[in-house]
Amino acid sequence: MSTNTLQYKVGLTVLRAEHMGMCFGVRDAITLAKREVDSRPLTVLGELVHNDTVLNDLRGRGVQFESQPDKVETEAVMITAHGASDRAKGRAEESGLKLMDATCPLVHHAHKQLRQLVKDGYPPVVLGRRGHVEVRGRTEDLAECDVVLSEEDIDALAPRQKYGVVAQSTQPIARVHEFVGYLENRFPAAEVRFVDTVCQPTKQRQSAAVELAKRSDVVLVVGGVNSNNTHELARTCREFCDEVHHVQGPGDVRSEWLPASGTLGITAGTSTPDILIDAVEDRVHQLSGGLRETSPEAQPAMA
């Protein structure tokens, strides 16, 4: 078993998922934003990361956030790890903005895969959340593209001879395979070409969450309320554990959730910083009579 285990003196065992928390794509984008804002005013286009603790820290350093390029007041703007369409980047450059691109290399790769499918003559279908910034970035440059996230969405697709399918990078891979199978059954005469664009960090976090949930009486999933992949992790954990709580920080942890004896698992979404995960674990420790003392109200300081 690969989870990290800690035995508490009151009989509560805490497990940490083997893979959890911030992925390299988000971490690199945050590092870039911190470095840049030290030398010049900087605006991030959209949400850099779906986590208020991280965003508040960046705001404190002077980073501005804006979703509309025409409202940006600094010369330098940053594209987030989720990426953006060429059209959106072009619009920003035309309005005189200097672009810094922090798009995750795995998102770049996914853009390339989708373009290749279109070039090869496969009408594109993205398995993902319509309106999510990563999905918008991938689809805005295409003349047409279907975005589906349910069997009903697939039922509603126009019948075609071919479909070229990719997934949003943070979708659970098991569900993606189910949808591809459903699409193949729904249109048995069609040729379905599927390219797996779910990123490796997401797959690792999902499979580690399954392992964790199978062994836990209670699971805490740490992450921002707007974080899609945190919601997905919580949903996956609920398939294997009856009691799963999504918490944004240590202040959300409730003593009545903690079993007097048994196992509590902790995992976290790809936008959750380590310091927040540690603070949640400290709070569990404190509430269960452990040795470390951490105030739940204390906002963790960011590195």
Closer residue to ligand SF4 in complex, CB, 237/253: 237
Q: How far is the CB of 137 from ligand SF4 (least distance, A)?
A: 11
Closer residue to ligand SF4 in complex, CB, 74/230: 230
Burial of 250 (0-12, 13-18, 19+ CB in 10 A): buried
Instruction: List residues near ligand SF4 by CB under 6 A.
Output: 23-26, 81, 104, 106-107, 169-170, 199, 201-202, 270
Q: In the structure encoding, which two tokens stand for residue 72, read together?
A: 């940006």
Closer residue to ligand SF4 in complex, CB, 169/272: 169
Of 47, 134, 232, 281, the catalytic one is: 134
> Sign of the CA dihedral 71, 72, 73, 75?
negative
Q: Is 293 a catalytic residue?
A: no
**Alpha carbons 39 and 206: distance in angstroms, whole number:** 38
DSSP code at position 236:
H
Q: How far is the CB of 23 from ligand SF4 (least distance, A)?
A: 3
**CB-CB contact of 180 with 163 (8 Å):** no
Q: How far is the CB of 146 from ligand SF4 (least distance, A)?
A: 21
Closer residue to ligand SF4 in complex, CB, 216/270: 270
**Alpha carbons 164 and 190: distance in angstroms, whole number:** 11
Residue number closest to ligand SF4, CB atom: 25
Q: What is the DSSP string of 259-288?
A: -SSEEEEEEE-TT--HHHHHHHHHHHHHHT
Q: How far is the CB of 206 from ligand SF4 (least distance, A)?
A: 11
Active site residues: 134
